[in-house]
Amino acid sequence: MPRVEADMGNADIMTAAPDGEYLAEVSAADYGQSKAKNWMVTLSYLLVDNPKFNGRTVRFDHAVVSGRDKNGKPVSTRTLYERLDACMVPYEHIAQSGGCGATTVGMNRVRKPDTGEIELQCSACNTALKGPVGFNTEDFLAKPVRVLLGHGEPNEETGEVFNTVERVMKR
């Protein structure tokens, strides 16, 4: 067994980047199941063009694709639609599910006058996206975005603080 000398001067606690907006690109897009058995896409972002946090990776941005909560209600897929739009990922508005059948990029954001909600519309047929859309997870990779970061509670045992992804926007 080799004897190892480690420099404890480099053992600083990993601190989160301050809350705010950062330039980033998508560095990973994994499709899998959550502990609650919901299918989701989990995105990671590499911070770029930042003197202090260049090269930092922010992980675990989950976007549910399909699943139900513990009360049996469908889980919102809003985050997934937001990420497809922000990352300019091509998506198919699936015809068998009532869509127009086109493959397009980006979505229209239309504020509904009655509720003030932002409706996301297919940019090919200009109707609200309600049913499923088809896309390839690898089309997320290397897409340039802006991310709005927040942070979670410090880990009770290690004291580390990790960033959370609050919002992803087009660049």
What is the contact surface with Zn ion in residues (CB under 5 A)?
Answer: 93, 100, 122, 124-125
Q: What are the backbone dihedrals phi and psi of residue 5, each rounded to the nearest 5 degrees, phi first?
A: -115, 125
Can you tell me the distance from the alpha carbon of 73 to that of 59, in angstroms, rounded to the nearest whole number? 27
Distances (CA, A) of 168 to 24, 150, 154: 10, 12, 23
Query: Shortest distance, CB of residue 133 to Zn ion, whole angstroms?
Result: 9
Nearer to Zn ion, 38 or 104 (CB): 104
The residue number with the shortest CB distance to Zn ion is 122
Nearer to Zn ion, 82 or 92 (CB): 92
Query: Shortest distance, CB of residue 100 to Zn ion, whole angstroms?
Result: 3
Query: Shortest distance, CB of residue 155 to Zn ion, whole angstroms?
Result: 44
Distances (CA, A) of 134 to 48, 67, 104: 29, 16, 10
Residue that has been written with the tokens 């200009």 in this structure: 126
Nearer to Zn ion, 100 or 141 (CB): 100
Query: Which one-letter DSSP state was computed for residue 94?
Result: -
Query: Shortest distance, CB of residue 74 to Zn ion, whole angstroms?
Result: 21
Nearer to Zn ion, 29 or 124 (CB): 124
Can you tell me the distance from the alpha carbon of 121 to that of 168, in angstroms, rounded to the nearest whole number? 18
Helix (H, G, I), strand (E, B) or coil at 12: coil
Nearer to Zn ion, 93 or 143 (CB): 93
DSSP-based helix, strand, coil % in the chain, nearest 5: 10, 40, 50
Q: 99, 114 in Cβ contact below 8 A? A: no
Query: Shortest distance, CB of residue 65 to Zn ion, whole angstroms?
Result: 19
